[in-house]
Structure 1
Amino acid sequence: MTYKITNLNYILGVLVLALLGACTVGNQAQLPTPAPIPASFSESGPKADSAAAVGKVQWRAYFTDAYLVSLIDSALQHNPDALAAVQQVEMARSEVTYTRGLLRPQLQAVASAGVDRYGDYTMDGVGNYDTNFSPNINGKRRIPEPAVPDFFLGLRSSWEIDLWGKLRNYRKAAYGRYLASEEGRKLVVTSLVADVAHLYYELLALNSELEILDKNIDLQEKAVELSQLQKTAGRTTELGVQQFTAQLLNTQSLRTAKRQEIVAVQNHLNQLLGRYPQEIGGGKTISGQRIPEQIAVGLPSQMLLQRPDIRQSELLLEASKADVAAARKAFLPSLGLSPYVGLNAFKASLLFSAPASVAYGIVGGLSAPLLNRSGLKAQLSRSEVQKLQAFYAYQKAVQTGFREVMTNLRAFENFSSVSQTKAKEVEVLRNAVSTSNELYRAGYASYLEIITAQRSVLEAELDLVNTQKLVLQSTVHLYRSLGGGWQ
């Protein structure tokens, strides 16, 4: 007897040591130390009080053109990407609900029927055969032979007790991804608002350029007529007429190409609005758009809270950390409970003979992986790698945001300066065209001087419109880079 007890203690000791060995895992990988974020977007400090950053302004207040506001509103309601982003959030919400359910007992209603034929030389076969000869067994309790039916009607439950927090970490990871999907939806909205505004300003600029070309074509047609009159009067040659005509044809070809650019931009803008190609009008002209005199960018720390892509990367990083924690705790023993209650009998006619047919019980077990743990190790290794990927993605998002703010801030300042200079250049060149025309009529200027002056003012006017467009688009890009547009 002592020998048996000693063997039992030895076996229990081996099992305990095996369970402890199953719980051991490698050291957790540490994340690198991130580079510190600069205190401001410029060496001289923030441009204004952080509370005045444009990233906090709602897009309806930031864009003052009523027609542009209506286009953005239509895009947010009908754009396929925006609608798909909402569904992505719902998918993530369902995952949270699923992981929350893992913490609760599972309960199933069960109605089952089966039949077993036990061998004559088995414990159940011999036991059933011998039981039928017992004087305590009456007709209803006699076991059918040779096959034994089994009928059950009742409830079965299974419940894994979250001893170490593995399931809670699954839920935490799912909730983090749900919040990240919401930030992803905001990112789609921000990009959509900015893209619509960008293309709208592009369309206004193209329409303005088309008006400039039309105006220059009218002037050049008059110049052709004047050169023909000068030729008839003997004051110029056919070469002058040909030069004026060639310039006219060149401008007409530019107008045709500009019309095609307008069609392409309109079609792209219509696609963002979630509709098929159609004519798009416009509100104010490109020169009539309000350009902020001073744009406050706030502090970099504020950008971290506003930009959806940075917030999304941060939340995914936290979710990946929860995945690692859950993967590590999968090596620990798990406790499961499996209770049941219902009606059980080996004859269908006896199934509802309560309370005699009532059956209930509960099974509890503690289990831990011992052999072939390669699947758990692979999952842990994968989770560690995904955590590092999420960390680097977060660092990249922060650096990208800082770079975009700096670039777009300088673009707004520089293009605003260029626009002012170009406006002065256009004014000077327009005066030069008027002067050259008067000198040409008086015979003091050649046709080449007129052509050169007209070409110069045309190029300058087109450059001015393009620069005005770049100024407006830089304000849009700065607004997006500061995390505005999703409010």
Structure 2
Amino acid sequence: MLSKRLYQCLGAATLAVAAAACKLPQVATLTQNRSTPAAYANAPAPADSANSARQPWRQFFTDPHLTALIDSALLHNQELNITRQEIDIARNEAQVRKGEYLPFVGLGVRAEAERPGRYTLRGATEEAIDVKPGVRTPDPLANYQLGAFASWEVDIWHRLRNARQAALRRYLASVEGKNFTTTNLVAEIANSYYELLALDNQLAIVRQNIGIQTNALEIVRLQKASARVTELAVQRFEAQVQNTTSRQFDIQQRITETENRLNFLLGRYPQPIVRDAAGLSNLLPPAVQAGLPVQLLQNRPDVRQAELEVQAAGLDVRVARAAFYPALRLSGGAGFEAFRPGLVFSAPESILYSIGGDLAAPLVNRNAIKAVYGSANARQNQAVLNYERTLRNAYVEVANQLANIANLQSSYAAKTREVAALTESVNISTSLFGSARADYTEVLFTQRDAIEARFDVVEIRMQQLQAGVQAYRALGGGWR
């Protein structure tokens, strides 16, 4: 009676411990918010589904020199090629997880020889028993084995299956990461190319003004010779010429650095960049259709990457949770085994086989499993927060660029009118100065204002082109 009660108590305790092993700690888990505003706050037109992000970059960029640069960069850019290797790594990781889900089967050959001590249980047994009637046990006893052996963890709680799905999500996320790198690369090349065209045009403006100012300096020197102006006027005009000349070298340095930056993006050493500098004035800012904010969920590679990371992190939580439950493992083997090579394939005496299984659950020292589970939940929360931050950042980038496009368009129109007025002012002031009806300072100030205004026109045109590129990138275009 006492023995029966003892067994009952042990059985109840075993069930209680098993139930405690399956009890999970409570953790707080966030859920990502995928909602977006109905429209962009600074959209120039009523919201509709037309979206420039769907347009391939070859159609968005029309300059043949620029498209040739982008083509070269997509093949040779080191950062993009590094992301391609990351895709291969993620693909291999997914294959590894898939392999863990399947049984492990191996074929092995083994040979050994062993001589136990005669004064041991095993040695005394071998001494007393013949391996075959009339055949004494060899000393030492050899053993030859050939067979196939397998082991398999039965995926009761989908631990291995979820780990495989998480690796697959991360592989897809790495593909989106490559797309996002491509988008940024295309935008950076286009921005640098337009900057290079603007610098070429500014350099042409400077050189033209150097010629104009040099001619004005010669006129002032002639006027000084005829005592119409003083040496002060000559020195002021001389200083203006030197100032413009100095600016020319500054622009040349910026051109060199921009060319080198483009060559670096193209994955090559510095060399001349083929371009049509005069074509800047013919390039019109591309018409950008913003579409609806909800389309960012599909068009932005970084948003899709963040969403896949959330899914992978959620699967990691399931994997960590499965560690609290019992695990079932099966093992088995079949083959031949004998103490002499000639007897290895003697059937049925040399045939061996085995099969077994074990079911085990963690009962003691579960703190490590709890910590892993808690970390998995924390990483999932991180992924959710990163997703929401990425989505909001995408919306803000688009809204900023839409406002920038509208403001630059108004600024370009005003600055163009300013250049026309200042150009006429330069002609008037030069004519008045030649007839001694205007002071030389008026000529200098008017020339300075005119060159600054022409510089600003080129700068704004470049900013308009770059704003179109940035809006295209912010919408998720450039990787198709």
The interval holding the TM-score normalised by the smaller chain is over 0.9
Q: What is the aligned residue count? A: 479
Cα distance, 1:150 vs structure 2: 2.9
The more displaced of 444-453 and 28-37 is 28-37
1:24: how far off? Answer: 2.0
RMSD: 2.1
**Which runs of no fewer than 5 residues in structure 1 stay unpaired?**
none
1:150 matched to which residue of 2? Answer: 143
**Map of 1:65-80 to 2, 5 A cutoff?**
65-80=63-78
The answer on whether the counterparts of 2:43 and 2:399 sit within 8 Å (CA) in structure 1 is no
1:456 counterpart (433, 442, 449):
449
Aligned partner letter, 2:429? S
State which drifts further: 34-43 or 258-267.
Answer: 34-43
1:80-110 per-position Cα deviation (integer Å, ceiling 9, x unaligned): 1111111111111111111111111101111
Tell me, in whole angstroms, the C-alpha distance in 2 between the residues paired with 1:251 and 1:45: 40
Structure 1 residue 10 displacement after superposition: 5.0
The CA distance in 2 between the partners of 1:43 and 1:257, in whole Å, is 37
Kept in 1, the 8 Å contact 2:330–2:355? The answer is yes
State the AA in 2 paired with 1:416.
Q
In percent, how many aligned pairs have the same letter? 39
Change in CA separation of 1:143 and 1:5 when aligned onto 2, cut-off 3 Å: farther
Superposed displacement of residue 286, structure 1: 2.1
Report the equivalent of 1:223: 216
Residue range with higher mean Cα deviation, 36-45 or 184-193: 36-45
Contact in 2 for aligned 1:64/1:290 (Cα 8 Å): no
Matched, 1:303 2:301: no
* 1:280-319 map, 5 Å: 280-283=273-276, 285-292=279-286, 294-319=287-312
Measured against aligned partners, the alpha-carbon deviations of 1:247-269 in whole angstroms (never above 9, x if no partner) come to: 00000000001000000000000
Q: What amino acid sits opposite 1:34 in the alignment?
A: N
Residue 367 of structure 1, CA deviation: 1.4
Answer whether contact 1:74 1:273 (CA < 8 A) is retained. Answer: yes
Question: Quick one: structure 1 residues 44 and 416, their matched pair in 2 at CA, closer, same or farther if it must change by over 3 Å?
Answer: closer
**Alpha-carbon distance in structure 1 between the residues aligned to 2:311 and 2:16:** 34
What corresponds to 1:187 in structure 2?
180
CA–CA separation in structure 2 for the residues paired with 1:276 and 1:44: 41
Q: Which residue does the alignment assign to 1:357?
A: 350
Give the structure 1 partner of residue 402 of structure 2.
Answer: 409
Cα offset for 1:154?
A: 1.1
1:4-153 correspondence to structure 2 within 5 Å: 11-31=10-30, 34=33, 36-42=35-41, 47-50=46-49, 52-118=50-116, 124-132=122-130, 137-140=132-135, 142-145=136-139, 147-153=140-146
Q: Which amino acid aligns with 2:68?
A: S
- Matched position secondary structure for 2:73: helix
Which whole-Å CA distance do the structure 2 matches of 1:7 and 1:127 have between them? 38
The answer as to whether partners of 2:213 and 2:240 remain within 8 angstroms in 1 is yes
* Native 8 Å contact 2:331 2:357 kept in 1: yes
Q: Does 1:430 align with 2:423?
A: yes
**Superimposed CA distance per residue, residues 193-237 of structure 1 (whole angstroms, 9 cap, x where no aligned partner):** 000001001101110100000010000010111101111122111
Q: Which residue of structure 1 lines up, in the alignment, with residue 230 of structure 2?
A: 237
| Correspondence for 1:474 among 455, 459, 467 | 467
Give, in angstroms, the shift of residue 123 of structure 1. Answer: 5.3
Residues 87-96 or 4-13, more deviating: 4-13
Cα 1:139/1:243, change in 2 over 3 Å: farther
Counterpart for residue 368 of structure 1 = 361
SS of residue in 2 equivalent to 1:197: helix
Matches within 5 A, 1:325-404: 325-404=318-397
Matching of residue 177 in structure 1 with residue 177 in structure 2: no
Secondary structure of the 1:452 match is helix
- Output the CA distance in 2 between the equivalents of 1:203 and 1:327: 53
Q: Is structure 2 residue 202 aligned with structure 1 residue 209?
A: yes
TM-score, normalised on structure 2?
A: 0.95
CA distance, structure 1, for counterparts of residue 111 and residue 24 of structure 2 = 44
The answer to whether the 8 Å contact 1:143/1:346 transfers is: no
Change (3 A) 1:8 1:130: farther
Contact 1:334-1:366 within 8 A present in 2 as well: yes
The whole-number CA distance in structure 2 between the counterparts of 1:368 and 1:157 is: 22
Asked if structure 2 preserves the Cα contact closer than 8 Å seen for 1:47 and 1:296, the reply is no
